[in-house]
Structure 1
Amino acid sequence: MTRTARSDGSNLSTQQLDALRTKVNGKVVVKGETPNEEYRPLIERWNRLHVKESNIIVLPESEDDISTTIKFVAEHNLDVTISCGRHTYSGPSSGFGLVIDMRNMRKVTVDAEKKTAKAQGGCIAGDVEKAAESVGLRAVMGAVNATGVGGITTGGGVSNLSGQYGLVADNVVEARVALADGRIVVASETENPDLFWGIRGGGSNFGLVTEFTYKLHECDHEVYGGFLMFSPDKTAKVISMLSTLHSDSIMKSNGKFAATAFFGSMGGVLMPGFMVYYDGPEDEAKKWAKPLFDLEPLTPPSHCGMSPHTATTDWAQFEKLFPPQFNRILGTSTQMDYPIDEAVMTKAVNLYNEVISRHPENLAVSKLIIDLRDYSKIASVPLDATAYANRREGMLIAADFIWDDPALDEEVTAAAKDWMGKVRAMIKESNSQKGIADVGAHVAATTLYALITDGEEKLQAVFGPNLLKMKQVKAKYDPNMMWNKWYPVEPESTS
């Protein structure tokens, strides 16, 4: 199907823009008209690799504002982008055309009796977590509280609570969605169930979620967590213990113990470490974490301890690891089956270190993440139950290449993609899966976590066998592909 290219809005007249301003209560910011000190902060993003100078930014204050803006977009065939937490890896919250910036819609309402929370689409994860915790309940959000609920929820969302409660998307009971024609509809198991299916893992392909309703869980206790760092000479021992730590501690804790290994660049030297989490008392936590303490970490035991769950997701503790100049990020991910192939994992770490060592000062805070969390709850949900397709129990490998110099953009991007290509090839070879990605199989090395990618992965790798249904849902709710920023799915042809 041939479509007219969408305009970036630079051709709109003052009269047309004024017409939009008169119809919305929120602010309409126009590049070149709005003072730079007001405009520039609105286009800033966590990942400066994807900062774009948007021509128009609308900051809605209500669903009516959103509906009006979408109708304006449709009328003028504008390129449109949804921005919530502005915390994406691959840049779908940035655009040159019109950006619907949800930052002013962050109301959260908790019903403690029903154990639910309603959160406007502009909320960040911390808004929901803190509101729930204040009444003795817990919300399933992502790893850090700075991510927007729109992206983390519609993209799937994995956290330290997922071993017990599944994905963030699995904890949505209802949503209000603004469609491409400006209508606001309810999506749930009983109302527009196909749309409800799509927004749980299909990202922003079908509309803008103006409000989520989440189920909450009991939370009357603190949790155990912290970081453990090891000397570089412990790298081989860390790799050799990954499978047994997963099988003997994580998988036997009823989803309560979570551990994420990482290899972080420290002054040009790759150092192994772990982030640990246990939803229970300290004595139990230390039992599950004993293999790590036995490995004699550099950090003292006091680096781990009891705190509210919201303290473990507080972005402030992670932000300290990233000096502000290191703000150009390329993320990529894949999976490996258990028990892991130690030779492949060792080679992956060594290849990663080779990339970092080319510019050790410029890539000084990069990290390779090995997610050992319990994915059995996520995998227990049938693959076709939601659009989210990564419902398997493999070990997630995620790489953050983080640098400070725009002059290195092209080189580091190419090196990161080359690194992941080699790692996937090794995993496929190890699992006798050589070439299987070419026939559309959705296993191990060809499966990724779509919230940690470069944005250019094949749709088959993101959505697997759910892709056909996504095309059908897309044809119903967005046939003209207004929503085309996050792994855009082409609508199924009706010709």
Structure 2
Amino acid sequence: MSNRAPRNDGSSLTSEQIDALRSKLKGKVIVKGQASDEEYRSLLDRWNKMHIKEANIIVLPESEEDISETIKFVAEHTLDVAIHCGGHTYSGPSSGHGLIIDLRKLRKVTVDVEKKLAVAQGGCLAEDIERATEDVKLRVVMGAINATGCGGITTGGGISNLSAQHGLVCDNVVAARVALADGRIVVASETENADLFWGIRGGGSNFGLVTEFTYKLHDCDHDVYSGFFMFPPNKLDDVLGLFNTIHLDYIMKSDGKFAVNGFFAVREGVVMPGFLVYYDGPEEEAKKFIKPLEDLGPISPPSGGKMIPHSASTDWKQFAAMFPPQFNRIVGSSTQVGYPVSPIVLKKTVDLFQEKIALYPENLGVSKLIVDLRDYTKIASVPLDATAYANRRTGMLVGVDFIWDDPKLDSIMLAEARNYISTLRQTIKETNEQRGIADVGGHVAATTLYPLLTDGEEKLASVFGTNLQRMKELKRKYDPDVMWDKWYPVEPAELPN
């Protein structure tokens, strides 16, 4: 049993203690009740309004030294602490009631064109790095949406439309600078603190705050083909019938260039099926791969793709425009199933989603279901124990987003999302003959979910799989008092007798 002192929210700190912290920092220290309400509230804001918490202290560091001094202060006073970068998470690890280390002032990107490397401060958004590298005809692997913070998407794994060619976001990190729980800043790479380097690639913030990432870059002298293909509700079954074909006969034969997500979006109470497509090459090539979609007869407009810069294909604005801003409370969960996917599983995936929407038609009116058909071969080619990231398997990823606006429904929607995924997993197990794969934490050598698309309460064995024991040992080494406890926190391994 742990005898650690419980972490506190900092409300009992004296003004002298706060001033002592201020005197050591270049950046600002915002204290609840002392700053203007406008400034304070703006710093609390998050993408998922379900997880906004009123922190007592918000620190806006302007240097690594500021981060180091802040962490020492957190350790000295046993404060509850959270790290904010992009604030674009499902489960809310960037919020807390104690002290927030808000990295928004640290967004510098330096590109070495000759070495094909980008060095990004820990507060960068994906868009900062994408645009800086694209300007010099290079490309960085980030996630599907450019509003995410580089810290979360990188340490959480990070799936991209480029992953079939270049792997996960975390697979493209060559080094990092990490602030540890005692305030020290260390380098993590294959040659320095290699165990820590292993842990931050998929282990989230369990071992420290990453102040700087170094990413390898890839040549890029061309635009990409990207766009949405929407279909009327009466073609829902036809869309489902295309999933295996699109994946096996098109995506898997594109040399990693063709990436597709199927989706089902609610519009005025009706579920509309569609595809989000991406092709890393010229339009004439892309047209060959989207032919099955065009043959199915999409709605035109708004359907169709066009040639755009890669950074435009990840622009959050195109996705945000689909959802009325008042619907901003979100819970998501996910699971995977191997190909070819049974028609029964495909039908259940959508039917169950429609059933849930029908229970709350006024509240879940902008929810969505994502079916990731992308090629995971490159991701799965990396040995499971090469990084902390444990979901290295191929298969169709299903992610559900329930989106609503009434705080009174928070616990209900959380339960509905969990029920959706558990029911779907059971159907997978029974129908796709994948005994063990659909059980949380039970399938061979990996997990059944994407850890960046969950409610944050999944069992650790389902997130880290067989890597969990090593995670615990690293936790004992780098964070024995569990300062970093906001993203699937791992308990330190017990000391041997």
| Correspondence 1:310 to 2:339 | no
Q: Partners of 2:377 and 2:440 in 1: how far apart?
A: 26
2:404 aligns to what? 403
Contact 1:267/1:361 (8 A) holds in 2: no
Output the CA distance in 2 between the equivalents of 1:395 and 1:344.
11
In the alignment, which residue of structure 1 is the partner of 2:80?
79
C-alpha separation between the residues in 2 aligned to 1:49 and 1:300?
A: 34
Q: Which position in structure 2 is the counterpart of 1:285?
A: 286
Aligned-partner Cα distance in 1 for 2:411–2:174? 42
Partner SS, residue 117 of structure 1: strand
Paired AA for residue 279 in structure 1: D
Match of 1:348 in 2: 349
**Over residues 222-246 of structure 1, what are the superposed CA-to-partner deviations in whole Å (9 max), with x where a residue is unaligned?**
1101000001111111111111110
CA distance in 2, matches of 1:323, 1:440: 36
Which residue of the partner structure matches residue 422 of structure 1? 423
Which deviates more from structure 2 when the two are superposed, residues 436-445 or residues 389-398? Answer: 436-445
Given that 2:390 and 2:447 are in contact with CA atoms closer than 8 Å, whether structure 1 keeps it comes out as no
CA distance in 2, matches of 1:438, 1:87: 28
Q: In the TM superposition, what are the counterparts of 1:325-404 in structure 2 within 5 Å?
A: 325-404=326-405
Tell me which amino acid in the other structure corresponds to 2:452.
Answer: L
Structure 1 portions without partners, runs of 5+ = none
1:311 match: secondary structure: helix
Aligned to 2:414: 413
Q: Does 1:256 align with 2:274?
A: no
The CA distance in 2 between the partners of 1:439 and 1:74, in whole Å, is: 35
CA distance in 1, matches of 2:486, 2:362: 33
Match of 2:240 in 1: 239
AA in 2 matched with 1:457:
E
Runs of 4+ aligned structure 1 residues displaced above 6 Å come to 435-439
Q: 2:49 is matched with which residue?
A: 48
Letter matched to residue 367 of structure 1: K
The alpha carbon displacement at 1:361 in A equals 2.6
More displaced 10-residue stretch of structure 1: 476-485 or 401-410: 401-410
Distance 1:391 1:128, change over 3 A: same
Give the Cα separation in 1 of the matches to 2:119 and 2:153: 15
CA contact (8 A) 1:225 1:275 kept: yes
CA distance in 1, matches of 2:273, 2:437: 32
The answer on whether the counterparts of 1:258 and 1:374 sit within 8 Å (CA) in structure 2 is yes
Map 1:258-277 to 2 at 5 A. Answer: 258-277=259-278
Match of 1:4 in 2: 5
- Given residue 355 of structure 1, which amino acid in structure 2 is its aligned partner? K
Deviations 1:84-127 (A, max 9, x none): 00000100000001010001000000011111000000000000
Query: Contact 2:446 / 2:466 at 8 angstroms: preserved in 1?
Result: no
Matches of 1:430 and 1:49, distance apart in 2: 35
Is the partner of 2:82 in helix, strand or coil? strand
TM-score, normalised by the number of residues in structure 1: 0.98
> 1:425 Cα shift?
1.1
1:426-465 matches, within 5 Å, as 426-434=427-435, 440-443=441-444, 447-465=448-466
SS at structure 2 position matched to 1:23: coil
Query: What is the alpha-carbon root mean square deviation over aligned residues?
Result: 1.4
Which residue does 1:100 correspond to in 2?
A: 101
| Cα shift readout 1:59-97 (whole Å, capped 9, x = no counterpart) | 000000000000000000111101100000100000001
> Alpha-carbon deviation of 1:319?
1.0
Give the drift of 1:431.
3.7
* Residue 128 (structure 2) aligns with: 127
Deviations 1:417-445 (A, max 9, x none): 11111011111222445567779433599
Q: Deviations over 1:292-311 (max 9, x none)?
A: 11111013487311011111
1: distance between equivalents of 2:423 and 2:71?
42
Quote the offset at 1:290 in angstroms.
0.8
Deviates more, 1:251-260 or 1:421-430: 421-430
8 Å contact kept, 1:336–1:444: no
Query: Is 104-113 or 233-242 further displaced after alignment?
Result: 233-242
Change beyond 3 A, Cα 1:147–1:440: closer
Over 3 Å counting, the alpha-carbon distance change for 1:454 and 1:491 in structure 2 is same
Question: More displaced, 363-372 or 423-432?
Answer: 423-432
SS where residue 428 of structure 1 aligns? helix
Identity level (%): 68
Cα distance between partner residues in 2 of 1:93 and 1:162: 26
Q: Distance in 2 between matches of 1:303 and 1:344?
A: 28
8 Å CA contact 2:335–2:438 kept in 1: the answer is no
Counterpart-to-counterpart distance in 2, 1:456 and 1:482: 18
What is the SS of the residue equivalent to 2:292? helix
**Equivalence for 2:470:** 469
**Does the CA-based 8 Å contact 1:46-1:87 persist in structure 2?**
yes
Listed one character per residue, the Cα deviations across residues 17-40 of structure 1 (whole Å, up to 9, x for unaligned) are 110011111000111111101100
Please state whether the residue corresponding to 2:23 is helix, strand or coil.
helix
Any conservation in 2 of the 1:175–1:213 contact (CA below 8 Å)?
yes
Q: CA 1:91–1:373 in 2, change beyond 3 Å: closer, same or farther?
A: same
Deviation, 1:177, is: 0.1
For each residue in 1:279-330, what CA deviation from the matched residue of structure 2 results, as whole angstroms up to 9, or x when unmatched? 0001110101111111110134873110111110011111101111010000
Length, aligned pairs only: 495
Cα deviation digits, residues 208-227 of structure 1 (max 9, x gap): 00000000100101110100
SS at match of 2:205: coil
Contact 2:439–2:448 (Cα < 8 Å) also in 1: no
What is the TM-score when the length of structure 2 is the normalising length? Answer: 0.97
- Contact preservation (8 Å) 1:424, 1:445: no
CA 1:425–1:74: 2 relative to 1, 3 Å = same
**Residue 232 of structure 1 aligns to which amino acid in structure 2?**
P
- Decide whether aligned partners of structure 1 residues 91 and 433 sit closer, same or farther in structure 2, where only a CA change above 3 A counts: same
Alignment correspondent of 1:114: 115
